[in-house]
Amino acid sequence: MTDRHPAPAPVDPITALTDDNLLAPMLPGVHDGSWDNWLVIVRGLYGMPMTDEQAATWRQLTDREPPSEPLRSAFMLVGRRGGKTQIAAALTLYETAMRDWSNVRSAGELIVGAMVAGDRRQAGQAMRYISGGLDSSSMLKRMVVKETTEAIELSNGTEVTVMTANHRTIRSRSFGALICDEIGHWYQEGASPDVEIVRAAEPALSLTNGLLLGASTPHKRDGVLHSKDKRHWGDDESKTLIVHGTSRQLNPRLPQSVVDEAMAEDEAAARSEYLAEWRDDLAGFIQRDVLEALVDPDVTEREPDRNTRYRAFIDVSGGVGDSFCWAVAHSEDGVDILDLVKEVKPPFDPLQVTMECAEDLKRYKLRRAAGDAYAAEWVTSHFRRCGIEYDRSDKNRSQIYLDALPRLTSGKVTLLDNQRLINQVAALERRTRSGGRDSVDHPRNGSDDVANAALGAICGQSRDRSGWIQPMPVAFPGQVQQQPKRWTPIGH
């Protein structure tokens, strides 16, 4: 632990960001002009005066006149490698370490400056920026009282911390700054985490006059980032600032060749990632409220019924990276009903999980199941040893999702109360390919193993290779096992 010292004398954010004893080390090249456009954005955000040249840059990036007073809410649509995480970390430190909180903070209370990231890896990167910024500042590093991997307590009664995108961690805290890093790509386990986090944070920030800042590359036209952009872009009267900046506008050190190569490989993706444009080839697969209306509340599994014919689908994994999932469903009066969905997260022994899966399927009188075209030979052979015939599906997951969509939107599906399933299906993205063909997949850094198993079971049919349904003979207590009846053609 270092000796405790009070915060440095109050300075404006431009001075802080360009002073080598304060935050300048967090912005390499700040003295050679590389961060000049970012500094213009900061000037406007804090209502500072500008030169004519700076005002022209401001209008180009914001489509509005420079404000005469500070704005405490901003959403910045910035191209990849545009420096948004670095500037966000620097502003988090400025707001937390260099602002006088004595008139706001209660006795024993810590005012929190938080960077919220989509996952642990991104949160770790943000913490490295913050920790490095403190350590490289001869004045600020003396303020450190206590440091962990996720939070740093400072001597002025504040705490700088990083969080993953979970709205439950936001409530009941006093925030001096909440920085939402890559908010356009939050597809984690919470229900609509971007909406819930901003909704939870805004009341707390209003009490402290804290800064709410979202910075991200744009993606599909959905979520908080898109709604804020649509509502506030170019509005001179709005208290929320919207910024649009390409990668090279905000980071001129990025070689143009990097952008050109990305454009040649995938123009739609590159225009989003480097030119900060919304993607027109992406759309949400299905709205969350439509899915939630299909859920049977508090029903997480349905017991087998001996008079019901079931079908199953398996999403196999080798035990590293992806989950191993299986699901069982049946149809009743024209409605597809999900009866079981199981997930085993890695790491695990795939052979052991195969046996567990097989036991579940047998409970539902199943001796055959469809599954994804997993290449490993052990899949079919080990399932066979467990008494299950594994049929590789002739449809990929995208085709399964597209087949399931009209069933879901028509309300002819009943789902289990499984949040992982709802989250994964709601996060699916629909892409329009050349030639007009659509495909559906999980978002970048997302997963869809549970969704694939469940929708595969909903869309599937229990049949053998000749196309006939076979009711499996099962003996129940007090019942003599009978020979199977004649197989019945599907649809008869």
Are residues 244 and 296 located together in one domain of the fold?
no
Of 216, 249, 280, the domain-final residue? 280
117, with CB counted inside 10 A (0-12, 13-18, 19+), is buried
Q: Worst-scoring range by mean pLDDT, 90-94, 193-197, 470-474?
A: 470-474
- 412 domain-assigned: yes
- Please report which confidence band the pLDDT of residue 29 belongs to, taking 50, 70 and 90 as the band edges: very high
Across residues 35-55, what is the average pLDDT?
A: 97
Are residues 61 and 149 located together in one domain of the fold?
yes
Are residues 25 and 174 located together in one domain of the fold?
yes
Are residues 192 and 270 located together in one domain of the fold?
yes
Are residues 181 and 81 located together in one domain of the fold?
yes
CATH of the domain at 451: 3.30.420.240
Q: What is the mean pLDDT of the chain?
A: 86
d(CA 349, CA 341): 19
- 105 domain-assigned: yes
Are residues 270 and 413 located together in one domain of the fold?
no
Q: pTM of the entire structure?
A: 0.71
Q: Chain-centre distance of CA 307, in angstroms?
A: 41
Of 280, 299, 316, the domain-final residue? 280
**Three-state DSSP class for 314?**
strand
How many Å from the N-terminal Cα to the C-terminal Cα in the chain?
77
Q: Which long-range contacts (CB under 8 A, 24 or more apart) does 426-432 make?
A: 426/284, 426/285, 426/286, 426/287, 426/288, 426/291, 427/187, 428/284, 428/285, 428/286, 428/401, 429/220, 429/282, 429/283, 429/284, 429/285, 430/282, 430/283, 430/284, 430/285, 431/281, 431/282, 432/281, 432/283
Residue 158 has pLDDT above 80, yes or no: yes
Strand partners, 208: none
Are residues 231 and 249 located together in one domain of the fold?
yes
Residue 172 has pLDDT above 70, yes or no: no
- 5 domain-assigned: no
Q: What is the dihedral of CA 208, 4, 26, 272, to 10 degrees?
A: -40
Q: Worst-scoring range by mean pLDDT, 13-22, 222-231, 239-248?
A: 222-231
Across residues 342-353, what is the average pLDDT?
A: 94
pLDDT of residue 473: 37
Angle at 258 between CA 252 and CA 264, to 5 degrees: 135
**Residue 51, CA atoms < 13 Å, CB-side half-sphere:** 5
d(CA 478, CA 65): 82
**Three-state DSSP class for 182?**
coil
8 A C-beta contact, residue 289 and residue 229: no
- 475 domain-assigned: no
Residue 411 corresponds to which amino acid? G
Residue 371 corresponds to which amino acid? G
Are residues 108 and 237 located together in one domain of the fold?
yes
8 A C-beta contact, residue 426 and residue 370: no
- What residues have CB less than 8 Å from 159, skipping those under 6 apart? 96, 110, 111, 112, 113, 151, 152, 153
Across residues 398-423, what is the average pLDDT?
A: 94
- Please report which confidence band the pLDDT of residue 354 belongs to, taking 50, 70 and 90 as the band edges: very high
Q: Between 328 and 284, whose confidence is greater? A: 328
Element (H, E) at 330: strand 324-332
Of 245, 280, 315, the domain-final residue? 280
DSSP state of 188: S
Are residues 296 and 343 located together in one domain of the fold?
yes
Are residues 362 and 450 located together in one domain of the fold?
yes
- 387 domain-assigned: yes
How many domains in the chain? 2
| pLDDT tens sequence across 259-314 | 999 999 988 889 999 999 998 777 788 888 899 999 999 999 999 999 999 999 99
| pLDDT tens sequence across 64-118 | 999 999 999 999 999 999 999 999 999 999 999 998 887 877 766 788 899 888 7
Task: Work out whether strand 240-245 and strand 73-78 pair parallel, antiparallel, or are unpaired.
Answer: parallel
Q: Tokens for 367, please give them.
A: 């001796």
The boundaries of the domain holding residue 299 are: 288-469
d(CA 304, CA 313): 16
pLDDT of residue 5: 64
d(CA 66, CA 392): 61
For the chain, give the percent of residues with pLDDT over 90. Answer: 61
- 485 domain-assigned: no
- 355 domain-assigned: yes
- 476 domain-assigned: no
d(CA 137, CA 272): 35
Are residues 269 and 300 located together in one domain of the fold?
no
d(CA 466, CA 260): 52
CATH of the domain at 235: 3.40.50.300
Are residues 97 and 139 located together in one domain of the fold?
yes
